[in-house]
Structure 1
Amino acid sequence: MKIAFVYDVIYPYVKGGAEKRIYELSLRLAERGHEVHIFGMKYWEGPAVVEKNGIIYHGLCQPMNLYVKGRRSILQAIYYSVFLFFPLLKEKPDVIDCQAFPYFPLIPSWLASKVSKCSLFVTWHEVWGNYWYDYLGFFGIFGKFIEHFAVHLTKNPIAVSGSTVRKLTEMGVSEPIPIISIGIDSNMTNCKSSAGDSSDIIFAGRLIPEKNVDLFLRALSLVREKVPGIKAVVIGDGPERYTLEKLSYDLGLTENVVFTGFLSCHDEVIAAMKASKIFILPSIREGFGIVSIEAMACGLPVVTVRAPLNAAYDLIHEGRNGYIADLSPESLADSIMAALFERENMKESIVDSIKDYEWDVILKKLVLVYNQSGK
């Protein structure tokens, strides 16, 4: 099978859940004899088309900044989309798998699928709906309209989570919608932890408002009243870092919280997880929450929050692999305390809960969906 993945950013030049998912699936598809192409922006020197690890990369255009003033750039998405149609058409793939966001690449992908008579799949990591108004204010009406148009562009949607399935069905997409989630490689946990970097609670992610780290800090100040020596590590960087460090100071948490910034490699993040006791993800918006699965692979219970756009809470079975809190410092503090108290009793069920997220399991589901598709 000849498969074309369409996404503007490419792993490892940009490290995020969607691009890592494409990379891991592409590696395994190529190993099994499929011809895999990734169409993105050109992050490398030399020829525009290169092959690496059995994957054929197409650098369609020079990379542009993805974000302008904290929001995904519309100009960048349009710029990338302009270069997409003819290279896709030239390759004549059997399957085009286009990531839904940022929407504009869907148009040339759809046109190429019609001309070459191949199957077009649209992979949905998130569906925003009314959240567009929070993101863009009045202009959110345009984002919501484009999203609704994109939802009905193909009869082959793929969702990465149950939460995304629910959102798609609310927008009129007929079920069943296959769930092909983000996966993990359990061998990643073989790296060693450092006892000198041990902590009680760990967070890892981009420091942006949606991650809600300020809520975690307020909850931590309540936990400290019961556990004065509580230690937390916040791994990541972003526009909210200064504000969060100031809040930590104002709450008197400077002895309890360490902000590390981004670590140099993913193994360091895994090592830090293995040196902690629980993982915290208070995000109000997660397309899947792969970091939660990685934490569970390290044996950590996960504490997250109940929010309409937080798909990570679909991964949590309370009392078995973590806890779900309401969006208040008090509720989050209670869940943190419960996880700290029960974590030893949960170890076996935590490991059991991630078996279906191995990459090889995910791959089998994906190939089955491709083979069963209609054009």
Structure 2
Amino acid sequence: MNVAFVSNVVYPFVKGGAEKRIYEIGRRLATDGHEITVYGRHFWDGPATMEYEGMTLRAVAPSADLYEGERRSITEAIDFSVRLLPELQPALSEREHDLVVASVFPYFPVLSSKLAGLGKGVPLVTTWHEVWRSYWSEYLGRLAPFGRGVEFATARTPQHPIAISEVTASRLAELGPPREEIEIVPNGIDVDRIRSAPVPDDGYDVLFAGRLIEHKNVDVLLDAFDAVGPDHDATLGIVGDGPESDALRTHARSLDCSDRIDFLGFLDDYDDVLGQMLAADVFVSPSTREGFGITFVEAMAADCTVIAAEHPDSAATDVIGDGGFLVSPTVDSVADALDDALGGERPPADPVDRALRFDWDQVTTRALEAYERAAFGGW
């Protein structure tokens, strides 16, 4: 099978969840003899077209800043989409690829990929990581109608949609594709790598890892830890950075147990994050918006007791199942669960066994089955 992936950024030259998914699935498919081409921006050293871990990387645009302040750049996404069209269209005319797999978000490359394939008979598969809908108001303010409109148009574009969770699939179905036409193929992890990561000497009893943004509710975790942490002689490590960093650090300094809380910032080495998870007993993230929540799976693979928020905008329920504890995103609820977990209570199912369902090898098998249905019929 010949698969074309479309992503403006390419892992590992730019690190992020969506591009890592393409990398992990793509290199495994290449190892199994499939031909894989990734169309992206030229973030790597070397020629515009080169071989990398069995895949062909093809730069259709130069590197560019992905963010304008704290938000993803709209002009960057449009620029990439415009440059993609004349590069992808000839390849699809010659039927070089059996299908195109475009990552959502951003949206414009999906529309460009569809336009490039018009009349060529090459199916378009989309991978939906999140569906924002009302969140556009918070993200774009007065420009929110533009974001909602583009998301709606992308959802209504003829495609073979894949969602990474049931929550994302259900939200996508509200915009366009019937739910029965949306496949679910989750994101994945490398369980063996997680289990073999080096464990630091200065680990923490309780850990959070993620972007320090409002909907992650790290302030709720801080207050919950302040309520019960001292009773267990526990420590809390916060891994990550983001726009809420300064406010959260100020808030932590006002707590009685401030001397038990450390902000570690963004850790460049992925193995350092995994090591912190292996060292921790409990992983807590009261986030109320998660299209998937890869840190939950990583923490379960590290045998942490995971505490997450049960919320209609979060896939935590689907991902964690009975391999962790799901609570309301309030200080009291998180504090009660944290008190139990620090006291030794474990979830009904073994967290590591639950995490094994999301190993990249299994995810790649499911992705290939979906791609084959799209390319050769049966979707």
Fold equivalence (TM over 0.5): yes
Note if contact 2:208-2:238 (Cα within 8 Å) is conserved in structure 1: yes
Shift of 1:255: 1.1
Alignment-derived partner of residue 326 in structure 1: 328
Alignment-derived partner of residue 47 in structure 1: 47
Q: Deviation digits for residues 100-125 of structure 1, max 9, x if unmatched?
A: 21111112100122243211011100
CA distance in 1, matches of 2:262, 2:348: 26
The answer to whether structure 1 residue 249 and structure 2 residue 253 are counterparts is yes
CA distance in 2, matches of 1:116, 1:81: 19
Structure 2: which 5+ residue stretches go unaligned?
none
Note if contact 2:5-2:100 (Cα within 8 Å) is conserved in structure 1: yes
Alignment-derived partner of residue 357 in structure 1: 358
Note if contact 2:199-2:279 (Cα within 8 Å) is conserved in structure 1: yes
| Paired residue type of 1:354 | A
CA distance in 1, matches of 2:105, 2:30: 25
CA distance in 2, matches of 1:77, 1:202: 34
| Paired residue type of 1:131 | Y
CA distance in 2, matches of 1:256, 1:139: 42
| Paired residue type of 2:88 | L
**What SS does the aligned partner of 1:142 have?**
helix
RMSD: 1.8
CA distance in 1, matches of 2:367, 2:316: 21
Shift of 1:354: 1.9
Q: How does 1:199-348 map to 2 (within 5 A)?
A: 199-224=204-229, 226-227=231-232, 229-317=233-321, 320-343=322-345, 345-346=346-347
Normalising by structure 2, we get a TM-score of 0.93
Note if contact 1:299-1:347 (Cα within 8 Å) is conserved in structure 2: no
CA distance in 1, matches of 2:256, 2:162: 46
Structure 1: which 5+ residue stretches go unaligned?
none
Q: Count matched residues.
A: 370
Alignment-derived partner of residue 61 in structure 1: 61
Note if contact 2:297-2:320 (Cα within 8 Å) is conserved in structure 1: no
| Paired residue type of 2:207 | I
Normalising by structure 1, we get a TM-score of 0.93
| Paired residue type of 1:321 | G
CA distance in 1, matches of 2:124, 2:309: 34
CA distance in 1, matches of 2:333, 2:348: 23
Shift of 1:225: 5.5
**What SS does the aligned partner of 2:118 have?**
helix
| Paired residue type of 1:127 | V
Note if contact 1:122-1:154 (Cα within 8 Å) is conserved in structure 2: no
Alignment-derived partner of residue 27 in structure 2: 27
Note if contact 1:128-1:309 (Cα within 8 Å) is conserved in structure 2: no
CA distance in 2, matches of 1:69, 1:290: 25
The answer to whether structure 1 residue 101 and structure 2 residue 102 are counterparts is no
**What SS does the aligned partner of 2:162 have?**
strand
Note if contact 2:325-2:347 (Cα within 8 Å) is conserved in structure 1: no
| Paired residue type of 1:190 | S
In structure 2, which of residues 192, 197, 211 is the aligned counterpart of residue 191 of structure 1? Answer: 197
Note if contact 1:234-1:258 (Cα within 8 Å) is conserved in structure 2: yes
Note if contact 2:162-2:185 (Cα within 8 Å) is conserved in structure 1: yes
CA distance in 1, matches of 2:45, 2:230: 54
Alignment-derived partner of residue 178 in structure 1: 183
Q: Sequence identity, in percent?
A: 38
CA distance in 2, matches of 1:191, 1:96: 35
Note if contact 1:323-1:339 (Cα within 8 Å) is conserved in structure 2: no
Q: Deviation digits for residues 131-158 of structure 1, max 9, x if unmatched?
A: 2122222321221121111111124100
Note if contact 2:293-2:316 (Cα within 8 Å) is conserved in structure 1: yes
Note if contact 2:230-2:257 (Cα within 8 Å) is conserved in structure 1: no
Shift of 1:348: 5.9
Shift of 1:94: 1.0
